Amino acid sequence: MKRYSNKIKLEARRLRASGNTYSEIKSILNISPTKSTLSFWLKDVVLPPNYKEKVKGLNESNLKKARYKAFVINRNKRQEFFKNIRLINNSVVKGIRNINTAKIALAMLCLGEASKYNPKTTANFYLGSSNPKIILLFLQLLKCCYDFKQEKVRCTVQCRADQDIKALQKYWQKITGIPKSLFYKTRIDPRTKGKPTKISGYKGVLRVDYFDRKIQLELESLANLIYNKLCVNGLVA
């Protein structure tokens, strides 16, 4: 064990009486005795009246630093986690340009979001969503998989009574690239009259109709075949 001179001990006592903490004393004197050694040296030193407040402030400051450090560590871990996920998925997403892969994606999207075949309705099917990503995926996958014709598209904005109809139409026209001439009259939900829209940034729902019954039937057939392959017959090697 390292031995310290009386001069060091006396200086440590003076610093303690001035209100310095153990850590501050060791730093100022450039020494490294154990906590029990310091406690023995300083056991009868009278602390100044403001010492408790000082320690309280230091504890709060150290807690803030520890929280920030933990935040930075967790943020870096999270960023690394998402980076690894993107690396894994980058190789997967390259296959979306393959027409068969794209058709499966479109069939699954339509299974969950699009209207279903009804022989009594007109020769169109539609998908509606307030999420621009879903709308764009629907249109882009149609273009990727089929001989997409824009003139077969009709769009309808569905909104609340207190919303700006013209602004919503411009928004969805810009998002989709579909001209105004292919938009039906906006539909206002009558149940929303007198009820203010509470969701900030809500742009209503866009319904996209595509007039091609053959594509609808093909996609529904593909979805059913996938279901039968995976859920009825089980995975086949």
Task: Answer for the pair 192, 165: CB distance below 8 angstroms, yes or no.
Answer: no
Distance from C-alpha of 170 to C-alpha of 151, rounded to nearest angstrom: 19
Residue 210, phi then psi, degrees to nearest 5: -125, 120
On the question of pLDDT at 132 being above 70, the answer is yes
Q: Model confidence at 236, in pLDDT bands (50, 70, 90)?
A: low
pLDDT of residue 74: 96
> What residues have CB less than 8 Å from 116, skipping those under 6 apart?
125, 220
- Encoding tokens for residue 112? 């969950």
Query: How far, in Å, CA of 154 to CA of 181, rounded?
Result: 9
Q: What is the pLDDT of residue 234?
A: 67
3-class secondary-structure state, position 11: helix
Instruction: Kindly report the average pLDDT of the chain as a whole number.
Output: 92
pTM over 0.75: no
What region does 159 belong to: left with phi over 0, alpha with psi -120 to 50, or beta? beta
Instruction: Indicate the pairing of strand 125-129 with strand 153-159.
Output: unpaired
How many percent of the chain have pLDDT more than 90?
70
Q: 82-86, 92-96, 190-194, 213-217 — which is least confidently predicted? A: 92-96
Strand 125-129, strand 187-188: pairing = unpaired
| Residue 112: HSE in the Cβ half-sphere, 13 Å Cα cutoff | 8
